[in-house]
Structure 1
Amino acid sequence: MGQLDGKTALVTGASTGIGLAIARRFAIEGATVYMTGRRKAELDTAVARVGSRGIGFQSDVSQLDDLDRLFALITERSGGLDIVVANAGVGDYGPLGTITEEEYEQTTSINLKGTIFTIQKALPLLSAGASVTLLSSSSALRAVPGLGVYAATKAAIRSLARTWAAELAGRGIRVNALTPGPVETPGSDELLAAFPQGDQSTVADPVAPTPLGRTGRPDEVAATALYLAGDDSSFTTGAELLVDGGATQI
């Protein structure tokens, strides 16, 4: 028997990296997992890796019409949700003085607006005792030059976890923030590649070595996501769980 047998979950941004690892772990533990992503080819590949418990839905969390269609599908096929992991996010390199309106709009629309409206539109479907996990980032706790806007959105997400945990406690819904540190993912590789040559110092490098001497793996973050989704964390809400190899603590 799996830890999530009979549960229905939604994982946004599940095409690659941490989101895909979380979706796979949830499916292994018995959950039906709705998976979203903006790029159809990557999403289709991800769903194939998850297997028969994975259900893909191409969408952009910053587009409210896409979210409406997503939750209409979940309502029709499953009737409700027990677990939501708001993982979809993007990051751009942009030091103060070079930030463009377009970059600002993309980052805040996907990371912050997308998280807010994903959870708001999921509310009618959430079961009593449901688990909501919001993905933050250790960049919100570290001064990484060039990641100011991205870090600000992730700090806001951690704040939302506190507020929503208080607002939804009466329904028995738990809301927590999951904060990865440097993790080997395609998104991290793309972000690091955007840093100018010569600027990839230990301070500026978002995937710099941790006190454990290595970067993390997506499956290590997924293991913590499983804890937050399951009954073992029934007395945990409003918390921030760090999976960062000690990068922000030591």
Structure 2
Amino acid sequence: MGKTIVITGAGDGLGRALARRFAADGETVVLLGRTLSKVQAVADEIGAPHFAIHCDVGDPDSVRAAFAEIAKRHPKIDVLINNAAIYEPFTLAEVRDDQITGQLTTNVAGPIFCSREALPLMAGGGHILNVSSESSHIKMPMLWLYAGTKTALEYMSDMWGNELAAQGVRVTVVRAGMMMDETKTGSSWPMDVSVRFATENAKVGLNLRERPISHYNSVTDAFRAVLDMPPDLHIGMVTLSGRKKA
């Protein structure tokens, strides 16, 4: 029997690639996203029985409403993938209030809200996969808040794994490197921000142009492998990075 898999941030990037992959594998995918038109487009593409629900993971009421809707159709879910995140560089002196609250609520509170609401639907066992980033251990200038949120997520995941083991719920962190696909033609940041980010990283020996980038579709293989682990085996963290082709 196929798994019921809930994916946050499923309208683009890795979330979209995961939705396509698991739908093709015969699983049932529930796509959550802050912009309903984006997740609905992916749901329409992959077809029934997969469906999209509007959900701003940083808003607890929105999360509660989304999981209440999921419960109407699927009283049991097997997997939650906390993928939604805000990724934006800035310095301490220039960071705006909305940038601070946006990253903290989406990247840290979001996985908490979603995992809390998913737990009652994971009775008898389930799997929470939290998407982290290589920036949690590579100290990239101007990315301190994003990296900090991902470091917090990794710590929480470790603690959740211990807390939820008796309920049969496994928790895995997938720490991924730079990813892209054919739809990503460049950064969505203002040009001056992108240039400063590259310049500041170059100063500490991180040449962003030379760092290898993996394809989203390749990364989905790791998620597939984690979910296919036998019940007597647990993987707390998977670390992925791009690799230059020979």
Fold-level similarity (TM above 0.5): yes
List gaps (5 residues or longer) in structure 1: none
Q: 1:154 to 1:208 in 2, by over 3 A?
A: farther
* CA 1:117–1:199: 2 relative to 1, 3 Å: closer
What's the offset of the Cα at 1:165? 0.4
- Following superposition, the deviation at residue 201 of structure 1 comes to 4.2
Residue equivalent to 1:93: 89
| Equivalent-residue separation in structure 1 for 2:186 and 2:104 (angstroms) | 18
CA distance in 1, matches of 2:222, 2:139: 25
Give, in whole Å, the separation in 1 of the partners of 2:191 and 2:106: 21
Q: Which amino acid aligns with 1:101?
A: D
Structure-to-structure mapping, 1:46-85, within 5 angstroms: 46-85=42-81
Give the counterpart of 1:168 among 147, 164, 189: 164
For residue 201 of structure 2, what is the aligned residue in structure 1?
203
1:137 and 1:151 in contact (8 A); partners too = yes
The alignment status of 1:143 with 2:139, answered yes or no, reads: yes
CA separation of 1:207 and 1:36: change in aligned 2, threshold 3 A:
farther
Q: Distance in 2 between matches of 1:143 and 1:51?
A: 41
CA distance change for structure 1 residues 180 and 193 in 2, over 3 Å: closer, same or farther?
Answer: farther
1:230-241 alignment runs, 5 A limit: 230-232=228-230, 234-237=232-235, 239-241=236-238
Q: What secondary structure, in the 3-state scheme, does the structure 2 residue paired with 1:195 have? A: helix
Superposed CA deviations along residues 175-215 of structure 1, whole A, max 9, x for unmatched, are 010011011155973258563425414936795433xxx31
The superposition leaves residues 128-176 of structure 1 with CA deviations (integer Å, 9 ceiling, x where unpaired) of: 2311100111111111111111110001111111000000111121101
The alignment partner of 1:200 has SS state of: helix
User: TM-score, normalised to structure 2's length?
Assistant: 0.88
Q: Which moved more, 1:90-99 or 1:57-66?
A: 90-99
Q: Distance in 2 between matches of 1:60 and 1:182?
A: 24
Cα separation, 2, equivalents of 1:65 and 1:77: 19
The Cα shift of 1:7 comes to: 1.3
Aligned equivalents of 1:202, 1:192: Cα separation in 2: 16
Aligned counterpart, 1:228: 226
Aligned amino acid, residue 203 of structure 1: N
Structure 1 stretches (4+) deviating beyond 6 angstroms?
Answer: none
- Aligned counterparts of 1:192 and 1:208: Cα–Cα separation in 2: 18
RMSD: 2.4
C-alpha distance after superposition, 1:16-36 (max 9, x if no partner): 110011111111121111101
Query: Which whole-Å CA distance do the structure 1 matches of 2:229 and 2:190 have between them?
Result: 37
Runs (5+) with no aligned partner, structure 2: none
Paired with 2:111 and 2:153, the residues of 1 have a C-alpha distance of 8
Give 3-state SS (helix, strand or coil) of 1:197's partner: helix
Share of identical aligned residues, percent? 26
Residue 241 of structure 2 corresponds to which residue in structure 1? 244
SS state of the match for residue 36, structure 1? strand
| Distance 1:199-1:165 versus aligned 2 partners, 3 A rule | closer
Query: CA separation in 2, counterparts of 1:6 and 1:39?
Result: 27
For residues 234 and 34 of structure 1, do their structure 2 counterparts lie closer, same or farther at Cα, with a shift above 3 Å needed?
farther
The 8 Å contact of residues 161 and 171 in structure 2, kept in 1 or not, is answered as: yes
- The answer (yes or no) to whether the contact 1:21–1:219 under 8 Å persists in 2 is yes
Alignment partners' CA distance in 1, 2:105 and 2:44: 29
Provide the rounded CA distance (Å) in 1 between the counterparts of 2:217 and 2:194.
29
- Is the contact made by 2:108 and 2:153 (CA closer than 8 Å) also made in structure 1? yes
